[in-house]
Amino acid sequence: MSEYKKPIPVIQPWTSEFWRATKQHKLLIQKCNDCGIDIFYPRKYCPECWSSNLGWSEASGKAKVYTYTIMMDMVEPKFMPDLPYVLAMVDLEEGIRMTTRIVDCDPQDVAIGMDVEVVFEDISEDCALPMFRPVTGKKKDKDKVSPAQNETRPPDTIEMSTDSYQTIMYEVGGANNSICRITLNRPDKFNAINRQMARELIHAFRNIRDVSSVGVVVLSGAGKEAFCTGGDLEIFPSLAEHQNCLNWMGHEGLDVQRAITDCEKVVICKIDGHCLAGGLELALCCDLIYAKESARIGTTEINMGILPGWGGTARLPRSMPVFRAREIVYSGRKDYTAKEMYEMGFLTRVFKDDEFEEKFEEIVAGIASKKPIALRMGKEVMARSAEGGSIETALAVERNGITWLTYSPDIQAVMDMYREKPGRLVEQQKKA
């Protein structure tokens, strides 16, 4: 057995029987001899009747995956070499739910409900770790999609590639390939969003999440007329049934929003021209919003008797003072100037038309020059805080994130540089 570098379980008198069994590759379940319940994890006393008259029985080792997550990053440094790996909760045949790892398979093949069986990894003289692997022959079940299911699903975005987009442009470039530009590309339709564009945006933002060189995504519209004027009204007849409408709002709409907010890059929205209705809602999903002075902004849905349904009604009041957000939704005005919106607390900045490109690109390049992992962590922590969760939650995410950043090897190198030359920060300040 080669030396095991990860943490080893601390064996207590009341868990020693359990760990002894793992050395013989047996999985034990603790039993209460008085009230009869199964107990997991092993304890001193029965949690039901407080009896200390406890015994053991051997589990079959057969289980089903109850839930799981794939660890891609952000783990304790000693677990880094294992990435990616699957953390799961499995339900044993005997009714016990265990936290464990799923091993011996591609993480992508793991599915909820999958049949798994126990395997043991010998890690020390005293114990082995119970883990689970797919029962051979069963792991492909999740790929079987019945024909009926297929019919109701929109054409799958999995078939798409970043070269095949018809309604958006997608380009990775800039210094060290740190910038991705995603451009809504239906200028003759004022970059209105149809179903194809929604699917392409979902695909593009999910795709960019895995490109580690990229720290910044610029979302803009092609042409000079509009950033985006919202949902393409041509698709509305196709939404005439409740079911279709629900799919458009609830599936495509929500998936676009989530793809943008979950993409882990700093998404910068560039508003040149009209930014209306669903266009404003796209902007609301971004991290920063810059507008040209001549841009015109608003939500117009109420003029048709509906409301912003792609997150706008929910997000506007979280993005600016609520008494101003209400006016924007209720008035249906489509002619708010960029300056008005800025004064109402909505935009990051407004630049004069003739300076816009230069100033905007300066900001993009500046942010793109920072470490993508630090940007990503900043996004995560600020989202937790801004979403209105408890401050303790946000602080916990912050502590965790900064600890993780501090351990990252390339950031260690930067910190060493400052340690060797403490005056460096001040010198840089003077130069700037």
CB of 27 to Zn ion, least distance (A): 21
Q: How far is the CB of 91 from Zn ion (least distance, A)?
A: 21
Footprint of Zn ion on 21-40 (CB under 5 A)? 32, 34-35
Catalytic residue among 93, 281, 387, 427: 281
244/412 Cα distance (integer angstroms): 52
**CA 19 to mean position of chain CA atoms:** 37
355 is catalytic: no
46 binding Zn ion? (CB under 5 A):
yes
**CA dist., res. 80 & res. 74, Å (int):** 8
In whole angstroms, what is the distance from residue 315 CA to residue 346 CA? 11
The CB-of-50 to Zn ion minimum distance in angstroms stands at 7
Is 252 one of the catalytic residues? no
Q: Which is nearer to Zn ion, 48 or 73 (CB)?
A: 48
Nearer to Zn ion, 14 or 351 (CB): 14
Local structure of 130: helix, strand or coil: strand
Nearer to Zn ion, 33 or 390 (CB): 33
With a CB cutoff of 8 Å and minimum separation 6, the contacts of 420 are: none
The position carrying tokens 């011996």 is: 104
* Cβ-based nearer residue to Zn ion, 43 or 206: 43
- When asked if residue 51 is in the footprint of Zn ion (CB under 5 A), the reply is yes
Distance CA 180, CA 265 (A): 10
Rule CB under 5 A: is residue 48 a binding residue for Zn ion? Answer: yes
In the numeric block, the tokens 């909505």 are attached to 346
- Torsion sign across C-alpha atoms 421, 427, 431, 432: positive
Tokens 């039993």 label which residue? 31
Residue showing tokens 């398979």: 105
Counting contacts by CB under 5 A, is residue 98 touching Zn ion? no
Give the nearer residue to Zn ion in terms of CB position, either 42 or 107: 42
Distance in Å, CB of 53 to Zn ion, minimum: 8
Q: Should residue 49 be labelled a site residue for Zn ion when binding is judged by CB under 5 A?
A: yes
The residue from 200, 264, 301, 340 that is catalytic is: 301
- The candidate with the shortest Cα–Cα distance to 20, out of 32, 30, 28, is 28
427 forms part of the interface with Zn ion (CB under 5 A): no
Residue 104's identity, in one-letter code, is D
Shortest Å distance, C-beta 9 to Zn ion: 24
Contact positions toward Zn ion, by CB under 5 A? Answer: 32, 34-35, 46, 48-49, 51
Q: Which residues are catalytic?
A: 281, 301
